[in-house]
Amino acid sequence: MIYTISIWAIIIFLTFVVLVLGLSFYFAGKTKSASGYYAAGGHIHWGVNGIAFAGDYLSAASFLGICGMIAYSGYDGFLYSIGYLAGWIVALFLVAEPLKRLGKYTFTDALDARFNSKSIKLTASISTLVVSIFYLIPQMIGAGDLIVPLLGLPHWSGVLIVGSIVIFIVATAGMASTTYVQFIKGALLIVFSTILTIYILNNGLNLNPGGNYHQFIKIGASVDGKKVVGTTDSTYSFIDSYTVDEKLTFVRLQKQGIERWFKLSKDSTSLDEMLSVATLEDGTKLYNGEPQSAAKFFQVGHLTKIIVDGKEVDKTGPLGPFKFLSTLENSELVRFTKKDIKAANTTVWFQTPTSGKDMLSPGLLLKISSKTGASIWDKLNFFSLMLALFLGTSALPHILIRYYTVASQRAARKSTIVAISAIGFFYILTLYMGLGASVNGVLDVESSNMSGPLLAKYFGVGLFSIISAIAFATVLGTVAGLIVASSGAIAHDFMDKFLNMKMSDKKKVKAGKLAAFGVGIFAILLGILFKGMNVSFLVGLAFAVAASANLPSILFLLFWEKTTAKGISWSIVTGILSSVFIILLSPAMYERYGFAKGLAPIPLDNPGIISIPLATIVLVIVSLMTQKDNKNKVENYHNDK
């Protein structure tokens, strides 16, 4: 942590939490029946539901993850924005209305409406659980990341606080209160992101991000053959040097007893200062060679050249939204790239000069151009990501259940349009917030997820506290929605329907609350376990699992008469297993296990390209093989044909 705690942040944060809890108490009094618990009684206004949709959807991944990804890797982060929104087209045009016609309380009900099949009940409830848990992990990590700078507490306590509050909300009121929490938070998130963007544009571009910004030094290198042997600056003494990935040379120097890390420049003449975190044998960490309390670890990200109308300037002053982008495209900035030097137990972040042109086109994170050495697998990875984002939205159970909270198909449709407009507008803002964070010296290289809130802090601690509180509420709301969906899968789909436990309405609600409690505890544990992973990347994986496990079933059920119950069940199982299997063997996970990325047996980070077609093929083949089952299917779907 490299920032101080603010009393304002704590006050505003607490006010928020109290407000949210108050709301949930208020609606708790009104929630008595099962349909009230799972589907808010089906009587939420479409406008409220639309913004609540946006609230559900704009999770920690969108605000924290995408902004962070754009700040570190430019346009590649924005690809997530484009894909996440495009997914709503599938939801609106193909899934929303028919699903509303089919559905009762949950996604499993809808899939099973025509079949009344045990195997669908089981597989669909498992799939709801798996997808929701994949989605829960990044939310919990985001919560922990937020709590660190907000309240100065350790990461695990943030996860614990969110988990406990959410369990409380869900266990007291269910869907009605989560809908209103999502509505308030969705609306606030959009309003304050707009305000933040106005600040960014008004601030324009500036070579000097602020009085305290660290000026990175460059010193001469003494090189013997290919080895660095010292520096021309006599105030530093040489300790050792390391070569990583065969092309990067990192040098450890010492000045007045403090170790500092430098990177040898490409032309081997100079050494550029880096950020470093070294872990000592006893587990203590040194930030840039000193204890954390010395505050020598800096927030970074700056411009090195700004060009306006062909002339180099120090700052631009206020810019319009399009002028901001075109000016940035002509400018140059410095990003910071992370590398682990395992032999020295040190992680470094070195300066990577990047042209504005590269920042505003895809390719910095995902290799897609053959000119930069992209292989066929790199290209497939890009394709796979765009496919999973496009198809994932309409397969997310916690989004699907929101269709049951409004009164009619027309209302479901209107809700979706309100949601698409709000979400689309927000996603355009993510580009400005991410780029703003990348050039204003606010980035904490240890936590890309905090880029958005830290940018807000650059403009004032008031804005920071409000934005952080909203981000925290974002996590609360999304986690609540996910837990309602998971508890529905356990109590309603599995216990009530699959095991056929005849439960009274009251018992059903009680079972749901107990299930919510269990899932909540599980989510807390996972959030602590997976600390430090990028939240948007993880949500991308949740999308891939959802698209593989659920989407073929939904689409074929709606558009292919020959779909059978066994076809759906096998497709769900195939989708879950293949996508999770590929994820576990992917380069990103291998890096997480501590192995080299190159050792991963499947060179794909995003599984969709393999698992979605596979689940579809299985559905078609199994359905064709089991056609005779369909003679008995329940025909309550075709009442409108």
Partner 1 sequence: MHRPAIKLDTDHAAVKKSKLGVILFIAYTLVYSGFVFIGLVDPELLGLHVLGKQNLSIIYGFGLIVLAIVMGFIYNALCNRLEDKMNEKKESSI
Q: With contact defined as beta carbons under 8 Å apart, do 259 and 350 qualify?
A: no
Nearer to partner 1, 103 or 575 (CB): 103
* Sign for the pseudo-dihedral over CA of 539, 545, 549, 553: positive
| Residue 493 C-beta: closest distance to partner 1, Å | 12
Select from 66, 99, 308, 368 the one that contacts partner 1 (CB under 8 A): 368
Nearer to partner 1, 93 or 595 (CB): 93
Q: With contact defined as beta carbons under 8 Å apart, do 182 and 52 qualify?
A: yes
Q: Helical H runs in 585-628?
A: 587-593, 608-625
| Residue 283 C-beta: closest distance to partner 1, Å | 44
| Residue 597 C-beta: closest distance to partner 1, Å | 22
**What are the E-state strand segments in 210-345?**
218-224, 227-231, 237-244, 248-255, 258-264, 270-273, 275-279, 285-287, 290-291, 300-308, 311-313, 332-341
Query: For the window 177-216, what string marks contact with partner 1 as x by the rule CB under 8 A?
Result: ----------------------------------------
| Residue 362 C-beta: closest distance to partner 1, Å | 6
Query: For the window 88-117, what string marks contact with partner 1 as x by the rule CB under 8 A?
Result: xxx-xxx--xx-xx-xxx------------
A 10 A CB-CB count for 485 gives 29
Nearer to partner 1, 107 or 458 (CB): 107
In 156-192, which positions are buried (b, 16+ CB within 10 angstroms) versus exposed (e)?
eebbbbbbebbbbbbbbbbbbbbbbbbbbbbbbbbeb
| Residue 126 C-beta: closest distance to partner 1, Å | 21
Return all residues near 50 (Cβ < 8 A) that are at least 6 apart. 414, 415, 416, 417, 418, 419, 422
Select from 52, 58, 64, 85 the one that contacts partner 1 (CB under 8 A): 85
| Residue 277 C-beta: closest distance to partner 1, Å | 34
Nearer to partner 1, 94 or 201 (CB): 94
626 binds partner 1 (CB under 8 A): no
Query: For the window 18-47, what string marks contact with partner 1 as x by the rule CB under 8 A?
Result: ----------------xx--xx-xx-----
Select from 247, 311, 631, 641 the one that contacts partner 1 (CB under 8 A): 641
Return all residues near 462 (Cβ < 8 A) that are at least 6 apart. 8
Return all residues near 453 (Cβ < 8 A) that are at least 6 apart. 64, 146, 149, 464, 467, 468, 471
Select from 213, 216, 377, 383 the one that contacts partner 1 (CB under 8 A): 383
Nearer to partner 1, 202 or 369 (CB): 369
Q: Name which of residues 498 to 537 contact partner 1 (CB under 8 A).
A: 505, 508
HEC profile for 151-206?
Answer: HCCCHHHHHHHHHHHHHHHHHHHCHHHHHHHHHHHHHHHHHHHHHHHHHHHHHCCE
Nearer to partner 1, 299 or 430 (CB): 430
CA 78, CA 556: separation in Å to the nearest integer? 31
CA 603, CA 377: separation in Å to the nearest integer? 6
Nearer to partner 1, 96 or 615 (CB): 96
* Sign for the pseudo-dihedral over CA of 63, 68, 69, 75: positive
Q: Report the alpha-carbon angle 31-142-191, nearest 5.
A: 70
Q: Name which of residues 422 to 451 contact partner 1 (CB under 8 A).
A: 424, 427-428, 431
Q: Name which of residues 384 to 423 contact partner 1 (CB under 8 A).
A: 386-387, 390, 404, 407-410, 413-414, 416-417, 420-421
329 binds partner 1 (CB under 8 A): yes
Size of the site for partner 1 (CB under 8 A): 66
Q: How far is CA 292 from the centre of its chain?
A: 28
Nearer to partner 1, 103 or 144 (CB): 103
Stretch of 286-294, 298-306, 356-364, 451-459 lying at the interface with partner 1 (CB under 8 A): 356-364
Q: Which residue has the tokens 């505890």?
A: 521
Position 124, amino acid: A
Nearer to partner 1, 150 or 173 (CB): 173
Select from 163, 209, 301, 363 the one that contacts partner 1 (CB under 8 A): 363
| Residue 619 C-beta: closest distance to partner 1, Å | 19
The structure tokens listed for 429 are 């803002």
61 binds partner 1 (CB under 8 A): no
| Residue 404 C-beta: closest distance to partner 1, Å | 5
Q: Name which of residues 131 to 160 contact partner 1 (CB under 8 A).
A: none
The structure tokens listed for 183 are 């509505």
The structure tokens listed for 206 are 């500036």
Query: For the window 447-486, what string marks contact with partner 1 as x by the rule CB under 8 A?
Result: ----------------------------------------
- Which DSSP state fits 352? E
The structure tokens listed for 166 are 């959410």
Select from 371, 593, 594, 635 the one that contacts partner 1 (CB under 8 A): 371
Stretch of 73-81, 135-143, 514-522, 579-587 lying at the interface with partner 1 (CB under 8 A): 73-81
78 binds partner 1 (CB under 8 A): yes
Nearer to partner 1, 196 or 387 (CB): 387
Stretch of 158-166, 368-376, 457-465, 627-635 lying at the interface with partner 1 (CB under 8 A): 368-376
Bin 289: left if φ > 0, else alpha if -120 < ψ < 50, else beta.
left
The SS3 of residue 355 is: strand
Position 544, amino acid: A
Strand 275-279 and strand 311-313: pairing? unpaired
Q: With contact defined as beta carbons under 8 Å apart, do 263 and 251 qualify?
A: yes
Select from 172, 222, 361, 630 the one that contacts partner 1 (CB under 8 A): 361
Nearer to partner 1, 103 or 149 (CB): 103
369 binds partner 1 (CB under 8 A): yes
Q: With contact defined as beta carbons under 8 Å apart, do 380 and 154 qualify?
A: no
Q: Kindly list the residues in this chain that would bind partner 1 in the complex (CB under 8 A).
A: 34-35, 38-39, 41-42, 75, 78-79, 81-82, 85-86, 88-90, 92-94, 97-98, 100-101, 103-105, 322, 325-326, 329, 357, 360-363, 368-369, 371, 379, 382-383, 386-387, 390, 404, 407-410, 413-414, 416-417, 420-421, 424, 427-428, 431, 505, 508, 558-559, 639-641
